[in-house]
Amino acid sequence: MMLASAGLYILRNQLRNLLNLTDTIEDLPVNNDQNSTENLLKAINTIKEQTPIAIRNFSSQYGSNGSDSYVVSNVCSNPEIYPLYGDSTHALVFRTYGPWWINLPSYQETKNFTRWENHFTSRDFIDIEFRDFVYECYSLNIYETYNPGTLEVVYVGKEDHYGNIIWHRIWSFPQPFSIVLSNSEEIIIENGLQSTNDLFPDHIKTDSSVLQTLNLNAYTRHTCPPAARLPRIVKISLKDKISFPTRLIRLEFDHSTVSYYSEIDTVILSGKILPTDSVLNESNEQREPSLTVS
């Protein structure tokens, strides 16, 4: 019994050091109940695949507010479409696609500003919240079920006990990732360069002046399989990339390189979890978060 009590005490301190949120972790009672130690050990060593529970913020959606069709909240569920391929009202769909709108005079007028990031290509984003904090992240899986291949950047959010968020970039295209096909075959992608013809269906004229202005061969999507043909899971490895517990993911996209709307079924975060109640007390959930990018 003494060993169990001592083990729980050590485990509590290690947990506090890991989270770097000492003031906000609820005190864990130290007692002689061996079951308490075993339950805590089991909780923090559980490997879990989580689907989103909420959308914190987003840039656009094809569906209207209050609708269930083509809206960002459609990713807050288990896979409903995959491994099918095609248009579905149950998917997340952003508002734009292709390069046509980039060439509109109204868009050109918005370009007279500078960004602090070089080679910025993201045009849409979504901030996703999961229920439990993950302190050892394994992977992020994005289920692409229509016109895939537009993911640009992945951030993870570090949230303090006031609800403030600092976003940390942990992956950007064309850094290594893998594609999981419906037959469970996993294809490792070392770089994302590919030809324009591989991205667009046969009926799209890839020699048009509009497409050529995008300089597609410099930064386009995935080499295998062709981006506009198959449903797949884009798997981003997160192992050893995150040094703090997180339950927030930001995805950024560039839809100018697809010929029609891209659709996402769901997003799954995999890793060892910490129950949310052990990290933030209830008062933190009521504060308005602020956003910072690093």
Tell me the three state secondary structure of residue 24.
coil
Residue 158 backbone phi and psi in degrees, to 5 = -105, 115
Is the domain of 54 the same as that of 183?
A: yes
Q: 103: which residues sit within 8 A by CB, 6+ positions away?
A: 210, 213
> What tokens does 43 get?
């909780």
Whether 151 and 181 share a structural domain: yes
Largest CA distance in the chain: 76
Q: Based on the domain organization, do 58 and 6 belong to the same domain?
A: no
In this structure, are 22 and 149 located in the same domain?
no
Site of tokens 């000492």: 22
Write the CA distances from 162 to 16, 21, 145, 158, 289, integer angstroms: 17, 11, 37, 11, 7
Assess whether pLDDT exceeds 60 at residue 146. yes
Question: In this predicted model, what pLDDT tens digit does every residue of 86-131 receive, in sequence order?
Answer: 999 999 999 988 777 777 777 655 555 455 555 556 789 999 999 9
190/202: higher pLDDT: 190
Q: Mark whether 30 and 144 lie in a shared domain.
A: no
Q: Which two tokens stand for residue 59?
A: 């840039």
142, 221: one domain: yes
**CATH number assigned to the domain comprising residue 186:** 2.60.120.260
Which residues, in sequence order, are bridge partners of residue 232? 144
Residues 6+ apart with CB under 8 A from 163: 284, 285, 287, 288, 289, 290
Q: What is the mean pLDDT of residues 259-285?
A: 76
Domain total in the chain = 2
133 & 16 share domain: no
| CA distance linking residue 219 with residue 119, whole number of Å | 10
Burial of 188 (0-12, 13-18, 19+ CB in 10 A): exposed
Q: For 261-285, what is the mean pLDDT?
A: 76
**Distance from the first to the final alpha carbon of the chain:** 46
Determine the pLDDT at residue 222: 47
Mean pLDDT of 225-237: 80
Task: Indicate whether 104 and 121 sit together in one domain.
Answer: yes
When the pLDDT of each residue in the chain is averaged and rounded to a whole number, the result is 76
Report for 185-189, 205-209, 232-236: range of highest mean pLDDT? 232-236
Tell me: pLDDT of 155 over 50: yes
Q: Looking at the structure, do residues 90 and 7 belong to the same domain, yes or no?
A: no
176 and 273 in a single domain? The answer is yes
Residues 106 and 205 reside in one and the same domain? yes
Q: Which of 242, 191, 234, 194 is nearest to 217 (CA)?
A: 194
Least confident of 128-132, 138-142, 184-188, 214-218: 214-218
pLDDT of residue 205: 63
Same structural domain, 14 and 132: no
Question: How far apart (Å, rounded) are the C-alpha atoms in residues 54 and 137?
Answer: 19
Determine the Cα–Cα distance for residues 199 and 124; give it in Å rounded to an integer. 19
Other CB atoms within a 10 A radius of the CB of residue 114 amount to: 6
Structural domain including 203 reads: 47-293
The amino acid present at 42, given as its one-letter code, is K
Residue 245: cis peptide before it, omega within 30 degrees of 0: no
Q: What are phi and psi of 209, to 5 degrees?
A: -65, -30
Confidence band of 23 (pLDDT split at 50, 70, 90): very low
pLDDT band, very low/low/confident/very high, at 207 (cuts 50, 70, 90): low
